Amino acid sequence: MTQIELIRERLAVLSPQTLEIRDDSAQHAGHAGAAGGGGHYWLTIVSEQFAGKPAIARHRMIYSALGELMRGPIHALSIQAFTPEEL
């Protein structure tokens, strides 16, 4: 299973209506985090579960869903998290 597939699987608990994941690791070759094996990812997610929550709470929900992936396989994660109404 690829890292993107694993990220997608973990984020399924947030019932996303839209989920876009991009691996930007190649753009960070030579970066200290890349040398350690961690990838750089970009994420856009749309979920009703974000309703009424500030950005920091949304990010925490995402980090929680990703669990240990945030402590190794994912070195950096750029997040854009929206409710359907915000689009």
Q: What is the pLDDT of residue 35?
A: 54
Q: Cβ(4)–Cβ(23) under 8 Å?
A: yes
Q: Cβ(10)–Cβ(58) under 8 Å?
A: no
Domains belonging to the chain, first-starting first, are 3-86 (3.30.300.90)
User: What is the C-alpha to C-alpha distance for residues 58 and 29, in angstroms, rounded to an integer?
Assistant: 29
Token match 């930007």: residue? 24
- For residue 55, give the 3-state DSSP assignment: helix
Question: How much is the pTM?
Answer: 0.89
pLDDT per residue of the chain (87 residues) written in tens, 0 to 9: 999 999 999 999 999 999 999 999 887 565 554 555 678 999 999 999 999 999 999 999 999 999 999 988 998 999 999 999 999
**Cα of 63 vs its chain's centroid, Å:** 7
Q: What is the pLDDT of residue 73?
A: 92
